Amino acid sequence: MTDALVPAPGLLARFETDLAPLVEPAARLGIAVSGGPDSLALLLLAAAARPGRVEAATVDHRLRRDSRQEAEFVRGICQRLGVEHAILAVSVRPGASLQAQARSARYEALGEWAIGRGLDAVATAHHADDQAETLLMRLARGAGLGGLVGVRQARPLEAGIRLVRPLLEWRRADLAAIVAAAGIEAIDDPANRDPRHDRSRFRGMLAEADWADAERLASSARWLADADEALDWAVQSLVATRLSQSGSALAIDAEGLPREMQRRLLLAGFDRMGAHRPRGPDLDRARKALRAGKMATLAGLKLEPGPPWRISPAPPRRRK
């Protein structure tokens, strides 16, 4: 690795401080690199901070004519850094949910790659500006506390493999400066400015609004994440005392609890029954029905009012 590709010592120290709580020093770390300035900065920082412990992958969604060439561009930088690189080709069908499909395919491919390479974690380059955009987008959609947390610092990617975001307190401009200092011209993805995409519209709005500061918005998301974590911790004692098995059903004693704790107890019940977690609005409609003494069906489960509330597998639907 040439000196030009090594970020300044102060930047490396800051990065290691952010990475250390997420990834052990001896762990094998994968970096998702698209070729844009954010992910290239993450690659440069990680390769210098964790030499010999880093690999990189570029997901080729094959949505643009130059996508393979862009992936090869990243491969060339990885060769200069002495970092193993893989190109992961995925298929995404054009449609209204293009970005959602691409995101799902991307993380699935990264998970399979991480398993195959024996990696302990995969890092992505989400940063404070991304966090601010996400918070505004979810506020506009009426998200609850869990949604307003925004981009989480870490979550499971596959069994035994974590997805981590060590750059959530870094600004987009800081990352672009790291890449520019290395003499690298990052790839410019025009989709980032396409007004057809929600994130692009909110990015433009945030850039033009003199009342909105990305760092402060990202800070709010961190406070909300702390609150969400505290509530998750608090609900564990309620699960032990207020959720019990009753034959093939679960009984939930929700009397006297705040609405948010009722919601979280219901989610714990869905987890215990092996059902997928419903969307927030659907869950709250079911909770309100139970409070009103009405039965509800959700995610393949039958919810009966009490007290206590009961959750059991819903009977199969009759064919007409």
Is the CB of residue 34 less than 8 Å from the CB of residue 58? Answer: yes
What residues contact residue 75 under an 8 Å CB cut-off, 6+ apart?
A: 58, 85, 87
Rounded distance, CA 238 to CA 244, Å?
11
Domains 3-213 and 219-313 share a fold: no
Burial of 224 (0-12, 13-18, 19+ CB in 10 A): middle
Query: Which pair of structure tokens corresponds to residue 191?
Result: 């989709």
| Strand bridging mode 54-60 / 84-89 | parallel
Query: What is the chain's alpha carbon radius of gyration, rounded to the nearest angstrom?
Result: 23
Residue 256, Ramachandran bin (φ over 0: left; ψ between -120 and 50: alpha; else beta): left
Q: How does the average pLDDT of the chain come out, rounded?
A: 91
Q: Can you give the residue ranges of every domain in the chain?
A: 3-213, 219-313
Q: Mean pLDDT lowest for which of 70-74, 89-93, 101-105, 205-209?
A: 205-209
Query: Which pair of structure tokens corresponds to residue 253?
Result: 């004693």
pLDDT tens digits for range 180-229: 999 999 998 766 666 666 777 888 777 777 777 888 899 999 999 999 99
| Strand bridging mode 249-252 / 161-164 | unpaired
Burial of 219 (0-12, 13-18, 19+ CB in 10 A): middle
pLDDT tens digits for range 111-132: 999 999 999 999 999 999 999 9
CATH number of 3-213: 3.40.50.620
| Alpha-carbon dihedral sign for residues 200, 188, 173, 73 | positive
* CATH code matching the domain that covers 219-313, chosen among 3.30.70, 1.10.1060, 1.10.600, 1.20.59: 1.20.59
